[in-house]
Amino acid sequence: MKTLLQRNTRYLLTWLPVILLICCIAFYVLMKMQAHHMQEKQLQLKQSNVWMAFVKSNGTIPRAIQGEFDIVPGILKQTTKSLSPRDTSIYLPQKNKILPFELLSSQFEWNKDKYIVSAYVSSTEISHLIIKVFITEAVILLLLLLSIVLLNKRNSQILWKPFFETLTKLKEYDVTRNESISLPDETNTKEFKELNVAFVDLIGKVNIAYYNQKQFVDNASHEMQTPLAIIRSKLELLINQPGLTESTAAQLGDITEANDKLSRMNRTLLLLAKIENNQFLNTESINFSDLLHREVSLLKKHYDDDFPTLTLSVTDDITLVANLSLLEILIHNLVINAVEHNIQGGSISINLSNSLLIIENTGLPLSQPAQTLFERFKKGSHKSRTTGLGLALVKQICVLYNYNVVYKYAHGLHKIEVTFP
Amino acid sequence: MKLLVVEDEPSLLTSILEYFTQEDFLCEGVSTFTQSLQKVEDFQYDCIILDINLPDGNGLMLLKYLRQQKKDDGVIIISARNSLDDRITGLDLGADDYLIKPFHLSELNARVKALLRRKYGKGVNLLETGNLKLDLLSRSVTCNDQQVSLTKHEFDLLTYLLNNQNRVVGKQAIAEHIYGHETENMPSFDFVYSHIKNLKKKLKETGCDELIQSVYGLGYKISV
């Protein structure tokens, strides 16, 4: 994936040289043609001048000057194109070199005698000129190419600046924090202005939708409290009815259990909503190491013999500033998760070092994609005992305090890492 | 003992009334703020169970009124809102206890009894059933005049069952009573069973066996 600016430059760098090369070739060809034409005119002029001088002086001027002209009596063979110049080379004794010349020969008549008048012009100078002009042009084009690319790059940077500012702001935006967004509106580009307005508008709507959803969960959970309380109270009265049979008792037991799970789920949803609404404002400095020891030993007591083999390695006196009950829930849920999704005779390893809590447990591979692990009601196993909210709660607490929580699975070990800032 | 229940949800109101009538309380129930105000003006109650959200007012207003009038009726707030602020406001205004819906009636019962004991003080800190004596102040238990040493959880469990004598107390209610809201995320209540098992064993050693009965796996019961 290339960036916008890279792509722009790359495009220019691909096509501009090609165009410039074609221009160069065309320029060279045209210049060559023009030079040829000019030489032809020069030769024709020289030829007629020489002939006029010859006629005026009644044939007394020298008949030849090397490299300039010669007048030879005779008839020009019409096989070659007599009217266009030809290439030739002449040996110049003073330079001791054979040099290229252009030659134009024509038929003239004087006093009934026929003469062939040839005019010469050196090709060296003109070809040197052509090369020099061509090189100059090539250098200019190269400079042009470079400056176009540089200017374009700079221009793009200026042009796209508001876009990148908007992009940075959008990346920072987090819907769960439900904050409004302010995008720079000092841009003079109409499209970017419109883009920013559209984004602000969109985010406003997203915030409202998110707020409504949160409110819904909050309200629904609150409204459910009373019916749940009614069911619970009626069940308590029912189990105290005289003449309770075993089958009724079993059914009542099932109802009680289901109702209880519903209550737990409901309370957890309320808790989630509360964390989302940032209602846990009272934070304190907490000795996390001690808390970890306390919670783990509490859970060991809870599970009694069902608790897997535990390896606990905790660095002492690690403190965190947070809400105590939320940290309790964090540890509690992580450990319960490690116990509940363990295998028979499995093990758990808990490791706390400076800014890292690692909880590893043996267990079967996940039956669902790992990235959904922290979502609500995504249960790995179909254990009816768990609510499917435990890790969602962990995630929510981590989001609240900017802890980073990741899950990994390797060699039959599930590993959850919490990094504290 | 006279009890007033202020709760706008009729079903819940009847449940509470039924439960406490069985506990030999003299119960009255109202479902609006106005009615409750009328009642407390006219009568003196040992305990008032008060819902905060009432159709025509806030239960906390009644509490405020009671304390302004220097009435010392015990008040237990029951609320669907589990917010710390509500709880603090309630307790600041002079509520004796605060319970969040949904609660177990046995828990409410235990709280009411604890309140009444605090209120009427001396002599009632001893719970007795047959040969079993439980002293709440010294936190000691004797069975056939023999000391039984219990852990904190076992003691709490026994107290809870004794407070709800002749009633089946559910496993969930016991779990929540002993561990409070820690149990919210507990996937199982198996630990209640092991506590009961240990408690029964200790009681049996001193001759108080058959005291705690298991009721079809629903819960446990102490009968006289």
Say if residues A295 and A348 touch (Cβ distance below 8 Å).
no
Per CB-CB distance under 8 Å, the chain B contacts of A336 are 185-187
Which of these ranges, A273-277, A393-397, B20-24, has the smallest mean pLDDT?
A: A273-277
Per CB-CB distance under 8 Å, the chain A contacts of B216 are 244, 246, 249-250, 253
Judgement on whether residues B143 and B169 belong to the same structural domain of the protein? yes
CA distance B51 to chain A (A): 11
CB–CB contact B101 A231 (8 Å): no
pTM above 0.90, yes or no: no
- CATH of residue B29's domain is 3.40.50.2300
Judgement on whether residues B36 and B55 belong to the same structural domain of the protein? yes
Q: What letter would DSSP give residue A420?
A: -
Nearest to A184 by CA among A172, A168, A171: A168
What pLDDT is recorded for position A62? 87
Judgement on whether residues B116 and B139 belong to the same structural domain of the protein? no
Please tell me the distance from the alpha carbon of residue B1 to that of residue A265, in angstroms, as a whole number.
37
The answer, yes or no, to whether residue B181 has pLDDT greater than 80, is no
Contact map slice: B 98-157 vs A, CB within 8 A: 100-106
The answer, yes or no, to whether residue A64 has pLDDT greater than 80, is yes
Nearest to B187 among A225, A270, A386 (CB): A386
CA distance B193 to chain A (A): 11
* CB atoms near residue A252 (< 10 Å): 22
What pLDDT is recorded for position B185? 63
The answer, yes or no, to whether residue B11 has pLDDT greater than 60, is yes
Q: Which residue has the tokens 């509690």?
A: A332
Question: Domains of chain A by range and CATH?
Answer: 4-146 (no CATH), 190-276 (1.10.287.130), 284-419 (3.30.565.10)
CB–CB contact B102 A340 (8 Å): no
A314-358: pLDDT as tens digits: 998 889 998 888 898 899 889 988 888 888 888 999 999 888 999
DSSP sequence for A325-369: HHHHHHHHHHHHHHHHT--TT-EEEEEEETTEEEEEEE-PPPSS-
Mutation target vs A (from B8, B106, B164, B172; most A CBs, 10 A cutoff): B172
By the CB < 8 Å criterion, does B18 face chain A?
yes
Judgement on whether residues B9 and B109 belong to the same structural domain of the protein? yes
Per CB-CB distance under 8 Å, the chain B contacts of A220 are none
A125-139: pLDDT as tens digits: 888 988 999 899 889
Nearest to B105 among A236, A264, A386 (CB): A236
- CATH of residue B147's domain is 1.10.10.10
Confidence of residue B190 (pLDDT cuts 50, 70, 90): confident
Per CB-CB distance under 8 Å, the chain B contacts of A331 are none
B135-152: pLDDT as tens digits: 888 888 888 888 888 888
Q: Is the dihedral of CA B5, B7, B11, B15 positive or negative?
A: negative
Mean predicted confidence (pLDDT) in A180-193: 78
Q: Which residue of A has its CA nearest to B102?
A: A229
Q: Is the dihedral of CA B107, B113, B114, B119 positive or negative?
A: positive
Judgement on whether residues B116 and B162 belong to the same structural domain of the protein? no
CB–CB contact B184 A268 (8 Å): yes
Judgement on whether residues B165 and B106 belong to the same structural domain of the protein? no
A19-53: pLDDT as tens digits: 988 988 999 999 999 998 998 999 999 989 998 99
Nearest to B185 among A246, A263, A336 (CB): A336
Which of these ranges, A89-103, A151-165, B170-184, has the smallest mean pLDDT?
A: B170-184
Looking at B120, B145, B167, the residue that finishes a domain is B120
Structure tokens at A199: 């984004």
Mutation target vs B (from A224, A252, A281, A302; most B CBs, 10 A cutoff): A302
Please tell me the distance from the alpha carbon of residue B28 to that of residue B30, in angstroms, as a whole number.
7
What pLDDT is recorded for position B184? 61
Say if residues B143 and B203 touch (Cβ distance below 8 Å).
yes
What pLDDT is recorded for position A298? 82
Q: Domain range spanning residue B185?
A: 126-222
CA distance A243 to chain B (A): 12
- In total, how many domains does chain B have? 2
Mean predicted confidence (pLDDT) in B58-75: 89
Nearest to A385 among B100, B172, B187 (CB): B187
Quote the mean pLDDT of chain A: 86
Say if residues B79 and B101 touch (Cβ distance below 8 Å).
yes
Tell me what percent of the residues of chain B surpass a pLDDT of 70.
Answer: 93
What pLDDT is recorded for position A339? 87
Judgement on whether residues B24 and B92 belong to the same structural domain of the protein? yes
Q: How many CA atoms lie within 13 A of A217 on its CB side?
A: 19
CA distance A155 to chain B (A): 57
Looking at B95, B120, B145, the residue that finishes a domain is B120
Confidence of residue A383 (pLDDT cuts 50, 70, 90): low
Which of these ranges, A187-191, A195-199, A400-404, B25-29, has the smallest mean pLDDT?
A: A187-191
Per CB-CB distance under 8 Å, the chain A contacts of B186 are 302, 336
Contact map slice: B 159-178 vs A, CB within 8 A: 167-168, 170, 172-173
Which of these ranges, A25-39, A209-223, A286-300, B20-34, has the smallest mean pLDDT?
A: A209-223
Contact map slice: B 20-39 vs A, CB within 8 A: 22
CB–CB contact B218 A249 (8 Å): yes
CB–CB contact A236 B170 (8 Å): yes
Per CB-CB distance under 8 Å, the chain B contacts of A249 are 215-218
Q: How many CB pairs under 8 A join A and B?
A: 111
The answer, yes or no, to whether residue A371 has pLDDT greater than 90, is no
Please tell me the distance from the alpha carbon of residue A237 to that of residue A231, in angstroms, as a whole number.
10
* CB atoms near residue A402 (< 10 Å): 9
Please tell me the distance from the alpha carbon of residue A113 to that of residue B29, in angstroms, as a whole number.
150
Please tell me the distance from the alpha carbon of residue A189 to that of residue A67, in angstroms, as a whole number.
68
CA distance A186 to chain B (A): 44
What pLDDT is recorded for position B122? 57
Judgement on whether residues B24 and B85 belong to the same structural domain of the protein? yes
Amino acid identity, position A200: V
Per CB-CB distance under 8 Å, the chain B contacts of A301 are 191
Per CB-CB distance under 8 Å, the chain A contacts of B104 are 232, 236
Per CB-CB distance under 8 Å, the chain B contacts of A260 are 172
Judgement on whether residues B145 and B75 belong to the same structural domain of the protein? no
A75-117: pLDDT as tens digits: 877 655 556 788 888 888 888 888 888 888 888 888 888 888 8
Judgement on whether residues B116 and B43 belong to the same structural domain of the protein? yes
B70-129: pLDDT as tens digits: 888 899 999 877 666 677 888 888 899 998 888 889 999 999 988 988 888 755 778 888
The answer, yes or no, to whether residue A382 has pLDDT greater than 60, is no
A243-255: pLDDT as tens digits: 888 888 889 988 9
Q: Which residue of A has its CA nearest to B12?
A: A230
CB–CB contact B12 A229 (8 Å): yes
Strand B140-143 relative to strand B146-148: parallel, antiparallel, unpaired? antiparallel
Helices (H), A173-245: 190-239
Looking at B120, B148, B170, the residue that finishes a domain is B120
By the CB < 8 Å criterion, does B182 face chain A?
yes
CB–CB contact B104 A385 (8 Å): no
Please tell me the distance from the alpha carbon of residue A395 to that of residue A372, in angstroms, as a whole number.
11
Amino acid identity, position A325: S
Sheet (strand A113-122) strand order: A64-65, A69-73, A113-122, A97-110, A86-92
CB–CB contact B102 A263 (8 Å): yes
Hey, is A28 helix, strand or coil? Answer: helix
By the CB < 8 Å criterion, does B9 face chain A?
yes
Judgement on whether residues B52 and B37 belong to the same structural domain of the protein? yes
Helix (H) or strand (E) holding B51: strand B47-51
CB–CB contact B185 A252 (8 Å): no
Residue A287: which residues within 8 A CB-CB, separation 6 or more? Answer: A317, A318, A319
Judgement on whether residues B10 and B98 belong to the same structural domain of the protein? yes
Nearest to A346 by CA among A244, A266, A278, A414: A414
Mean predicted confidence (pLDDT) in A299-315: 84
The answer, yes or no, to whether residue A180 has pLDDT greater than 70, is yes
CB–CB contact B105 A230 (8 Å): no
